[in-house]
Amino acid sequence: MAVRPYFVNGQWRTGEGSFEVRSPYDDSVVAEVGTPTEADVEEAARVAAGTFEESRRLPVHARAEALAHISRRLAETVDENAELIAREGGKPIKWARVEAQRAVSTFRWAAETVRHGDDELIRLDTEAALGSRIGLIRRFPVGPVLGITPFNFPLNLVAHKVAPAIGVGAPIVVKPASATPLGALRIAELFAETDLPAGMVQVLPVSSKVADGMARDPRYRKISFTGSSEIGWYLKGLDPKKRVTLELGGNAGVIVHADADLDLAAQRIAFGGYYQAGQSCISVQRVFVASEVFDDLADRLTKQVESLKVGDPLDPTVDVGPVIQRSEVDRIAAWVREAVEQGATVLTGGQGDGPFFQPTLLAQVRPRDEGLPRGDLRSGGDDQPLRDVRGGPALVNDSRYGLQAGVFTNDINRAFEAHRTLEVGGVIVNDVSAFRADQMPYGGSKDSGFGREGLRFAMEEMTEPRIMVLSHVPL
């Protein structure tokens, strides 16, 4: 098998060694990827810093057309990209196609955002003492970006870092997850087809240890990180002067009120808890149900969960694929055992099987810091009845995480109360926490993150406003 090269300074290189990318499903070798050298890592930082003087001056049409080109090319190769996602990460092909199509949208939205612009005029003749003045506010990139991405969305989460960086004229070096580097390399291939400076996008599939040194490098003025809370907050503490956006873990809760459409709630909770084998920051992990409909919803939800098909991610009928590493099956099983020992009831699932953990639903999980299962890797959800639905937000908030939450209700007042009360980055009404549109602001509160992604919002995070005051002008 030929070594798959990485991308530095517009060049494809194989380095001095390589590592294997293996399928989580059958452990087959998907690709062998070159390992960047120390010289490559240094060159990438130097080139990004040197390219910044050129990239920051690129006109809107150049940036927007490059983004549109990548979007078009991703659209032409959706099936190919979906298979790549499924093979390297184990995501079922039906959901891998969704991710591949979302990447198309992500780059398209970035192009549209750039063309729309965000410059602002502000009147400054508001007081007699100020004279006849007007201000022009523009945003300028802060500098080169280091993007660090996780395994669970190997194409679209890379897109969410590369597209806004290109959009604002900031060079970006991407460090993809070692388990799933192929999506990032795919985006590099399409970037190489554009007319943008070669140093604007580089991809280095390095180890976490090497990435630590990159994060400390002062030439990277901005870090955009998606991954675990522990690593994210560690990165933020490295340099107080460095801009950092963190999209971290979650412990997403869903509230189901008695007036909700229970069929809809059961169907969407079953989707939101298991479509990524639970390996998503916003997958449903806790469900709080009005006591008068608890048994009814539990029955409907159990049937929905039991209908999910587990198996080969390349099978188009499969709903749930393998977890990313087989060692995680034992870790998830330990969480389930702990929950049962503390009084929880297994309504369905609860067992590991090779690279899979069966979709698992627990009832009456004992309230605790994070509930069970918890963390970034899980395969199941838990139900708790609410004697008083007004206590739902407090239970959702009883977590150090706050990424997104879902609320099922037909009462508009409850929806607005949830929006005001829930300590999360997003409240999804009549759907689950797992919903995300790529143009919306996305990020968390508390230990779930710092800053926001979503094209316009990510661009704001990568730039800073600067005002120019025009004095003595006839207004």
Residues labelled as active-site residues: 247, 281
State how far the Cα of 320 lies from the Cα of 313, in Å rounded to an integer: 8
State how far the Cα of 391 lies from the Cα of 414, in Å rounded to an integer: 12
Residue that has been written with the tokens 């999506």 in this structure: 183
Residue that has been written with the tokens 């039906």 in this structure: 94
Look up residue 249 and give its amino acid. G
Q: To 5 degrees, how large is the angle CA 215–CA 217–CA 218?
A: 115
Q: Compute and round to an integer the Cα radius of gyration of the chain.
A: 23
State how far the Cα of 161 lies from the Cα of 337, in Å rounded to an integer: 38
Question: Which residues lie below 8 Å from residue 420, measured CB to CB, with a gap of 6+?
Answer: none
State how far the Cα of 106 lies from the Cα of 453, in Å rounded to an integer: 11
CB 343 within 8 A of CB 337: no
Query: CA torsion 403→408→409→410, rounded to 10°?
Result: 110
Task: Choose among 128, 125, 105, 108: nearest CA to 116.
Answer: 108
State how far the Cα of 457 lies from the Cα of 435, in Å rounded to an integer: 18
Look up residue 425 and give its amino acid. G
- Cβ atoms within 10 Å, residue 105: 18
Residues present in the chain in total? 475
Question: Which residues lie below 8 Å from residue 25, measured CB to CB, with a gap of 6+?
Answer: 90, 312, 313, 321, 322, 355
Reduced DSSP (H G I as helix, E B as strand, rest coil) percent helix, strand, coil of the chain, to 5 = 40, 25, 35
Checking phi first, is residue 471 left (phi over 0); if not, alpha (psi -120 to 50) or beta? beta
Biggest alpha carbon distance in the chain? Answer: 77
Burial of 127 (0-12, 13-18, 19+ CB in 10 A): exposed
CB 415 within 8 A of CB 429: yes
State how far the Cα of 393 lies from the Cα of 418, in Å rounded to an integer: 7
State how far the Cα of 97 lies from the Cα of 101, in Å rounded to an integer: 6
CB 364 within 8 A of CB 395: no
Enumerate the H helices of 92-245 as residue ranges: 93-116, 156-168, 182-191, 208-216, 229-236
